[in-house]
Amino acid sequence: MTQPLHIVVCGSIVPDPLQTLEPVSTPAGPGLKNEMMLPAVLDPWAACGLFEAANLAKQVAGSKVYLVSLGPKAKLQQVMMTVAQKFPFELVAVDGPAGGFTEAAQVAEALAGAINAIPGLDKANMLVFGGWASASRAAGATMQMLGEKLGITDQFQGVDECKVQPDGSLRILERIEGGRHQVSICQGPPIVCGWATGNLPEPPNNPQVGMMNMRAIMPALQKAKPAQVAQDGVEWVTVQLPQQRRDTRIVKDVPIEEMAQEIVEWIKK
């Protein structure tokens, strides 16, 4: 019989990708223009891992999902109002910067400390999920460093699927070149999975689940410990927003082949 799993998902908040992001220099280091005013969402890569964790917890009776998030408390509270409606989980909040200019090693250190401090966490049956990359901290190294700090050597990156076999082993699909997957069989937890996009859609909202989660999320936010994640030595040199270009010409009775050739020549320029 498969033992209950404790699934720890690491995911922060990022600015809504539909917003225009402009780097600026601040007294604390590099940042984004009007960063605190930008609407935030849960990091898309981490969100995939969170949805997969919830699905896995349903399949293994007694399992529990934790969301460990490093970010400003005010922004976390806004995002959790939506995320809390998806499925039951316990939030472990760490108050700190959520920008893309933080060092992966220091982020991993802060996350490892938060995970080790979770009361009652069964590390022998722990799955650590997170984004393979990130919409802000896209170094692609945070989850690997986190696994090392937690003493977990079985790590899988670019994961699209993780299934528990009848004997308790884990079948994991990792992305490799050529649009193919590498199939790995792990005897069991603990493991670290850096998720790609997974296979599951976003769960529907459930207001009742949201209210139940928020009863625990609000105290967790109030107890969030500050994390000293510095940006020493990080700077941006130059940045340029993509320029829009539109040349419109109205013509009649032009053959399709000629139109296509004209478009090709325009692109080559």
Q: Is residue 203, in this structure, part of any structural domain at all?
A: yes
Nearest alpha carbon to residue 90 among 113, 124, 120, 132: 120
- Residues 217-264 have pLDDT tens digits of 898 888 888 777 766 666 666 666 666 667 677 888 888 898 899 889
**Peptide bond before residue 242 is cis, with ω within 30 degrees of 0:** no
The span from the CA of 131 to the CA of 68, in Å, is 12
Here the CATH number for the domain that contains residue 182 is 3.40.50.620
Segment holding 36, helix H or strand E? none
Q: Is residue 213, in this structure, part of any structural domain at all?
A: yes
pTM score: 0.79
Domain count, the chain: 1
As a whole number, mean pLDDT of residues 104-110 equals 84
Which region holds residue 267: left if phi is over 0, alpha if psi is between -120 and 50, else beta?
alpha
Q: Is residue 246, in this structure, part of any structural domain at all?
A: no
Host domain of residue 117: 6-226
Q: How many CB atoms lie within 10 A of CB 158?
A: 18
- Residues 177-205 have pLDDT tens digits of 878 889 999 988 899 998 888 788 888 88
Q: Is residue 139, in this structure, part of any structural domain at all?
A: yes
Q: Is residue 220, in this structure, part of any structural domain at all?
A: yes
Q: Is residue 249, in this structure, part of any structural domain at all?
A: no
Residue of higher predicted confidence among 253 and 101: 253
Q: Is residue 175, in this structure, part of any structural domain at all?
A: yes
Q: Is residue 129, in this structure, part of any structural domain at all?
A: yes
